[in-house]
Structure 1
Amino acid sequence: MSEGNRTTNPIKRVIRNQVVGMFNDSQRGEVPVVRSRNALFTPTSVAWRVHGDVASMMAGGIASLLLQMLHPSVLAGVWDHSNFRTDMHGRLRRTARFIATTTYADRSEAEAMIRRVRSVHDGVRGHLPDGTAYDANDPALLAWVHVTETRSFLDAWIRYGEPWMSRADQEQYFAEMALIGGALGADPLPRTRREADRLIAGMRPALKVDARTAEVARLILHPAATSRLAAMPGRLAGQAGVDLLPRWARALHGLSPSALRTPLVRAGTLGVAQALRWAFR
């Protein structure tokens, strides 16, 4: 945390320390990403605005994971080549760090991060249970991961941060994020909300749920008691993430929040978002 972000308010300090601890692994020497004027995006970009809100990014991140895991090949890549079952928090933390670095860090750090992710993808390949081959460098799979993230992050920000967001700014966000998706090898790349909707609709016939999908969803939404995600606001973010899913995706997962719970989840998440904004202001 930079000198300018320090505060003498003990409540703010406690909240900040908890958030910093959740997203930065001190044992690995991680420290918060420093914002740079030489980042891939300028301080006036829509990406800086959307990605700077912790609560909405947590909810959007969970929604995007639940969407991504509906694709058998994406699920297989995670299942076969990661330790998410024993370290779900670590996976979410690494994803958050990738987003923070590619959004705010110096351009050289962002480009190095993208190269590292691409090198990891080089070793992620295998076969589905039915024998179908998968490869993490498949442009269509990368496009699916990209569109679920961008759509979920944007929808979460609109719901909890900027419900009046203009359509022009929404389109600008998709256009900005296409820079990252393209650098990772995704194709096709949605540059408007309409293109994102079309890409998601075109992928729906390939989506399905099996026992492994259900296991991933359970780990995301019901983390182990020893995980930091098990505490508030982690559990609330999970419920907010489910609420962000399209109705058809909730149906595939077998998730059907009650009509009475939804307003409570939204109000609670908004309250957490406002508290975090106050703490980091």
Structure 2
Amino acid sequence: MNPDDPPVDPEHDPEHEDDLGLFGPGSVTWKVHREPILLVAGLRSLYLQALHPRAVAGVAQNSSFKSDPWGRLIRTSRYVGTTIYGTTAQAQAAGRRLTALHSRMRARDPETGQEFRIDSPDLLRWVHVTEVESFLSTARRAGLRLSDAETDGYYAEQRRAAALVGLDPATVPGSAAAVADYYREVRPELRMTRDGAETAFFLTAPPIPWKVSRPARLGLSLGPPRLAYFGIAGIAFGLLPPWARRLYGGLGLSTTDRSAELSARTLRLALNAIPRRYMEGPIYRAAQARAARLAGPG
């Protein structure tokens, strides 16, 4: 359910140098998405999405995630970055490409054999809600301080991103209470399927990129990269709602919640200790430069 086309140029948009995009520096969205811990949130959202039989079937039947998982991850990250930090024109262009891509895709329900559209509102809404809820809940549980008003503000702001993929913002949950209600409504549709199980296994143990795996071909240990990824995947899975972990066959224990939250807080501290210049991409730097230019001296 993510774009396979390259995004608009993330750094140069000379016709819109004074445009801060869909959100801007005073938004809750910019506050949340500045957090490097969101790399865990992205993985958490994929575990959630795999529990929807049609959503995961659509991905399995149309996506290149198994043959090119890291390339797809990069393209998805660029798309999210463009919608968050790009100019309005860049975000809208990225949304148009994504909707055009989805409009051509069809999948077949593995249980009924019925063909369905990838861009049906129900599926688009599921993907949107699981993504934004994962971003927000992961950041908060990892230690980012947000008030209840800011939490609701984030969900309301993200309706703008939902509109980019063709959703009517009025049909998208715009508060924490609305998100909770949405999950309660959709849970009867969720279950573990073969596609879901295969996707979850792949997410937990994907192939290591060639440049990282090359030492193994030379007889060197591959332990650290693989173990690091397992650790991140374990945190992402542990941060799932208890009902989601139960659908995966777990017990949904509160001890898992506490352990995952402690691990997320520790990882956030470690990531935030890395100099920002190593964590910031060109589209983020371009957005910050536009914001500073508009703010003026002082």
The equivalent of 1:143 in structure 2 is: 125
**Residue of 26, 36, 46 corresponding to 1:65:** 46
Deviations, residues 174-198 of structure 1 (Å, cap 9, x unaligned): 0110111122123520110111111
Q: Which residue of 2 aligns with 1:265?
A: 263
Distance 1:107 1:126, change over 3 A: same
Mind listing any 5+ residue stretches in structure 1 that lack a counterpart? 1-27
What is the DSSP-based 3-state SS (H/G/I as helix, E as strand, rest coil) of the residue aligned with 1:276?
Answer: coil
Taking the aligned partners of 1:58 and 1:193, their CA distance within structure 2 comes to 22
1:244 maps to what in 2?
239
Tell me which amino acid in the other structure corresponds to 1:145.
Answer: V
In the TM superposition, residue 246 of structure 1 has moved relative to its aligned partner by: 0.4
Taking the aligned partners of 1:264 and 1:45, their CA distance within structure 2 comes to: 27
Answering whether residue 191 of structure 2 is matched by residue 196 of structure 1, we say: no
Equivalent residue in structure 1 for 2:230, among 224, 235, 257:
235
May I ask how many residue pairs the two structures share in their alignment? 252
User: Any conservation in 2 of the 1:239–1:265 contact (CA below 8 Å)?
Assistant: no
- 1:194 maps to a residue whose letter is A
In the alignment, structure 1 residue 77 sits paired with structure 2 residue 58:
yes
Secondary structure at the aligned position of 1:204 is classed as helix
Note if 1:50 corresponds to 2:25: no
CA contact (8 A) 1:40 1:107 kept: yes
The amino acid that maps onto 1:276 is I
Kindly provide the amino acid, as one letter, of the partner of residue 233 in structure 2.
G
User: Residues of 2 paired with 1:269 and 1:77: CA distance?
Assistant: 32
Could you say if the C-alpha distance between residues 248 and 103 of structure 1 is closer, same or farther in structure 2, counting changes exceeding 3 Å? same
Q: Which residue of 2 aligns with 1:10?
A: none
Name 1:119's counterpart in structure 2: 100
In structure 1, C-alpha distance between the alignment counterparts of 2:18 and 2:132, rounded to whole Å: 23
Identity across matched positions, percent: 31
Which protein has the larger Cα radius of gyration, Structure 1 or Structure 2? 2
d(CA) in 1 for partners of 2:250 and 2:156?
32
Indicate the residue corresponding to 2:193 in structure 1: 210
| Corresponding residue for residue 106 of structure 1 | 87
> What's the CA shift for 1:257?
8.8
Counterpart in the other structure of 1:157: 139
CA RMSD of aligned residues (A): 2.8
The residue aligned with 1:6 is none
Alignment check: 8 A CA contact 2:142 2:261 kept: no
1:128 corresponds in structure 2 to 109
* Contact 2:243 2:252 survives alignment (8 Å): no
The offset of 1:87, in angstroms, is: 1.8
* Dislocated runs of 4+, deviation >4 Å: 28-37, 227-233, 255-261, 277-281
> In structure 2, what is the equivalent of residue 276 of structure 1?
274
- Hey, what's the Cα distance between the residues in 2 that align with 1:263 and 1:114? 33
Change (3 A) 1:216 1:197: same
TM-score w.r.t. structure 1 length?
0.80
Q: Which moved more, 1:264-273 or 1:124-133?
A: 264-273
Q: TM-score, normalised by structure 2?
A: 0.76
Closer, same or farther in 2 for the Cα pair 1:91/1:161, shift >3 Å? farther
Alpha-carbon distance change, 142 to 263 in structure 1, aligned in 2, over 3 angstroms: closer
Task: Give CA deviations for 1:57-89 in whole Å, capped at 9, x if unaligned.
Answer: 111111111111111111111101111112222
1:196-246 Cα distance to aligned partner (Å, 9 max, x none)? 111111111111112221111111111223466954653332122112100
1:223 aligned to which of 206, 226, 245: 206
Shift of 1:271: 3.6
User: Could you say which residue in structure 2 is the equivalent of 1:168?
Assistant: 149
Q: Could you tell me whether the CA contact under 8 Å between 1:233 and 1:272 is conserved in 2? A: no
